[in-house]
């Protein structure tokens, strides 16, 4: 054991818990794990991260052959990975899964998107053929892509069922397109429950099949409109603050979209203190299923990289439904959609990347996966000062010793 780890009384080199119980029981048996409270709708309490493993990771970071803090955000990320895995050093992620939830939206018919609803089903076919951006980025980072039709507007379900795509089609479909949120509830009560449960079921299937890092994505023409409305209701914002250009709408469509968000918010406002109902009335099947997926991933102790504005809107609602779930998520890439910034601000999450990506599908999350892998690998594989025979003692008590960069110190 290296000296700093010994001083802290925590081993920096062996697993600090048996195996962290990742992927443990779905829902039950969480007593004693520091559960943070019970969500609604029968959602089990969310476990907390493993503080012992995190303390070991902090200690180990201080012993690795680099100045303190020199790996920047990779260091905090590595501590998070130790916490979600319940072990330090953490292990390499073995099965990264992108799950794209596909759904159409009635509100698209009023002209809130630059593209027609037909594109949703066409893109589902493109995902299956491996030709979309999400497929390319998934291949780059060694992730697999799964597409699930929860409400695509086609007569026949657009995707097969099951974790390996071999099950009967239509298993996950709630309805054909969510209703127009400016003048009706997106989903009935039953459909809302079903969409949420389908999201939870997907997370269970993925974790049971060995996923150890989940990347939720979405495809659904028009879905930046409900996403913006949901975020505005849950954060107390005005339509004009949250509306974005989505697929690249012009000023005329921007006005239509802003009015649609306003009308949807008027219908959803009486339920603003109930995130589940906000998703049902003002959201849609994709947002609801994503929220269920995000809640259940946390319940199953499985880390998630968040994507763009739609996934982040669902994540904000999921945190309301199951407090503490956010501890299991990291934000991938900043979207220019203003609602994403409000959602992430409320969640206290800062994206790892900011490269102007505004696509969804899970692409912004996948782009950040190499950073997550780099954080794990550096914490697990770098030599300590003792091991490498490198002096870890800084010459002065200044910046190096405090883990602070001199310029940062001077700036404050």
Ligand X SMILES: Cc1cc2ncn([C@H]3O[C@H](COP(=O)(O)O)[C@@H](O)[C@H]3O)c2cc1C
Ligand Y SMILES: O=C(O)c1cccnc1
Which residues, 218 to 237, sit near ligand X by CB under 6 A?
218-225
Neighbours of 382 (CB within 10 A): 17
Min CB(118)–ligand X separation in Å: 10
Sheet holding 213-219, edge to edge: 143-151, 96-103, 213-219, 304-306, 329-331
| Site for ligand Y contains 257 (CB under 6 A) | no
Min CB(336)–ligand Y separation in Å: 7
| Site for ligand X contains 110 (CB under 6 A) | no
| Site for ligand Y contains 309 (CB under 6 A) | yes
90 binds, among ligand Y, ligand X, none (CB under 5 to 8 A by kind): none
- CB-wise, 120 or 224, nearer to ligand Y? 224
- CB-wise, 157 or 364, nearer to ligand Y? 364
Binding string, 236-265, against ligand X, x = CB under 6 A? ----------xx------------------
| Site for ligand Y contains 308 (CB under 6 A) | yes
| Site for ligand X contains 106 (CB under 6 A) | no
3-state secondary structure the chain: CCHHHHHHCCCCCCCCCCCCCCCCCCCCCCCCCCCCCCCCCCCCCCCCCCHHHHHHHHHHHCCECCCCCCCCHHHHHHHHHHHHHCCCCCCCCCCEEEEEEEECEHHHHHCCCCCCCHHHHHHHHHHHHCCCHHHHHHHHHCEEEEEEEEECCCCCCCCCECCCCCECCCCCCCCCCECCCCCCCCCCHHHHHHHHHHHHHHHHHHHHCCCCEEEEEEECCCCHHHHHHHHHHHHCCCHHHHCCCCCCCCHHHHHHHHHHHHHHHHHHHHHCCCHHHHHHHHHCHHHHHHHHHHHHHHHCCCCEEECCHHHHHHHHHHHHHCCCHHHHEEECECCCCHHHHHHHHHHCCCCCECCCCCCCCCHHHHHHHHHHHHHHHHHHHCCEHHHHCCCCCCCCCCHHHHCCCHHHHHHC
335 binds, among ligand Y, ligand X, none (CB under 5 to 8 A by kind): ligand Y
User: Which of 259, 298, 293, 300 has its CA nearest to residue 279?
Assistant: 293
Kindly state the number of chain residues that form the binding site for ligand X, as judged by CB under 6 A.
18
Residue 297 near residue 202, CB atoms below 8 Å: no
| Site for ligand Y contains 225 (CB under 6 A) | no
| Site for ligand X contains 135 (CB under 6 A) | no
Residue 361 bears catalytic tag: yes
Kindly state the number of chain residues that form the binding site for ligand Y, as judged by CB under 6 A.
13
| Site for ligand Y contains 327 (CB under 6 A) | no
| Site for ligand X contains 344 (CB under 6 A) | no
| Site for ligand X contains 271 (CB under 6 A) | no
| Site for ligand X contains 361 (CB under 6 A) | yes
Closest residue to ligand X, judged by C-beta, is 246
| Site for ligand X contains 362 (CB under 6 A) | no
Q: Which of 191, 206, 319, 361 is catalytic?
A: 361
| Site for ligand Y contains 335 (CB under 6 A) | yes
Closest residue to ligand Y, judged by C-beta, is 308
- CB-wise, 90 or 332, nearer to ligand X? 332
- CB-wise, 50 or 307, nearer to ligand X? 307
| Site for ligand X contains 115 (CB under 6 A) | yes
63 binds, among ligand X, ligand Y, none (CB under 5 to 8 A by kind): none
Interface positions with ligand Y (CB under 6 A): 224, 246-247, 307-310, 335, 337, 340, 358-360
| Catalytic machinery residues | 361
Interface positions with ligand X (CB under 6 A): 113-115, 119, 123, 218-225, 246-247, 359-361
């Amino acid at each position: 054991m290296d000296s700093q780890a010994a001083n802290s009384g925590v081993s920096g080199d062996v697993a600090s818990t048996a195996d962290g119980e990742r992927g443990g029981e779905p829902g039950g048996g969480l007593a004693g794990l520091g559960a943070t409270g019970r969500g609604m709708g029968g959602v089990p309490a969310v476990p907390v991260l493993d503080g012992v493993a995190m303390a070991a990771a902090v200690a180990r970071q201080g012993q690795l052959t680099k100045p303190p803090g020199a790996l920047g955000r990779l260091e905090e990320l590595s501590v998070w990975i130790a916490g979600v895995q319940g072990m330090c050093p953490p292990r390499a992620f073995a099965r990264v899964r992108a799950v794209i939830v596909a759904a159409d939206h009635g509100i698209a018919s009023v002209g809130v998107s630059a593209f027609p609803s037909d594109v949703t089903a066409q893109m589902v076919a493109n995902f299956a053929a491996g030709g979309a951006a999400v497929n390319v980025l998934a291949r780059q980072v060694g992730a697999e892509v799964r597409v699930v039709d929860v409400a695509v507007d086609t007569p026949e379900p657009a995707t097969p069922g099951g974790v390996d795509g071999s099950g009967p089609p239509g298993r996950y479909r709630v309805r054909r397109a969510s209703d127009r949120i400016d003048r009706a509830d997106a989903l009935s009560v039953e459909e809302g429950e079903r969409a949420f449960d389908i999201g939870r079921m997907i997370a269970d299937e993925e974790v049971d099949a060995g996923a150890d890092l989940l990347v939720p994505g979405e495809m659904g023409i028009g879905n930046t409109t409900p996403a913006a409305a949901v975020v505005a209701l849950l954060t107390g914002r005005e339509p004009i603050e949250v509306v974005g250009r989505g697929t690249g709408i012009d000023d005329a469509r921007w006005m239509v979209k802003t009015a649609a968000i306003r009308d949807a918010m008027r219908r959803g406002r009486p339920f603003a203190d109930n995130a589940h109902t906000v998703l049902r009335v003002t959201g849609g099947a994709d947002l609801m299923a994503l929220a269920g997926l995000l809640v259940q991933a946390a319940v199953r102790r499985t880390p998630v990289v968040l994507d763009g504005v739609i996934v982040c809107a669902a994540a904000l609602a999921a945190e309301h439904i199951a407090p503490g779930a956010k501890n299991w998520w990291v934000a991938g890439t900043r979207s220019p959609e203003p609602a994403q910034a409000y959602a992430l601000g409320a969640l206290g999450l800062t994206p790892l990347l900011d490269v102007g990506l505004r696509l969804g599908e899970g692409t912004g999350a996948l782009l950040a996966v190499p950073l997550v892998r780099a954080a794990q690998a550096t914490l697990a594989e770098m030599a300590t000062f003792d091991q490498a025979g490198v002096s870890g003692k800084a010459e002065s008590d200044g910046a190096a010793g405090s883990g602070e960069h001199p310029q940062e110190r001077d700036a404050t």
